[in-house]
Amino acid sequence: MIQRVFNLIKLISVVRERGNWTLIRHSRKQLKEFIFCRSGLNRLSPVCVFFYWYHLLKGPDVLIWRLETFGFLFAPGADQKTRDHLNSYI
C-alpha cells in the first residue's frame, strides 16, 4: 500500500517535469476518458476503475510508458526544439 503511494508521487513528479501541457489542455476530454477508463476497449465500471488504477500503481513504468505513447509525456531526453515540433501538429 505504501509503495503505491510512493509510485503515485513519482508519477505526479514525472508529469510535472515532462508533461506535454499544450496537449493536455487541448485534449482534456481524451485524458479524462483515459483516467476513468471510458473509451476504447478498456471500458470499466467506476468500481473497477479504482482497482484497475490500484493495480497499475504497483509499478508506474508501464503507466509512464502509456502516457509517453499517447503524447501526454515527452521522452526523457527531449529538448525544446523537439517539443515544439511535436506540438506543431496540434
Hey, where are the domains in the chain?
A: 2-87
Fill in the DSSP letter of residue 73. B
| pLDDT attached to residue 14 | 93
Q: What is the mean pLDDT of residues 17-46?
A: 87
Mean pLDDT of the chain: 88
**pLDDT at residue 16 greater than cutoff 90:** yes
Q: Which three cell numbers stand for residue 52?
A: 484497475
Q: What is the mean pLDDT of residues 57-63?
A: 88
| pLDDT attached to residue 77 | 86
For residues 3 and 84, give the distance between their C-alpha atoms in angstroms, rounded to a whole number: 35
| pLDDT attached to residue 46 | 87
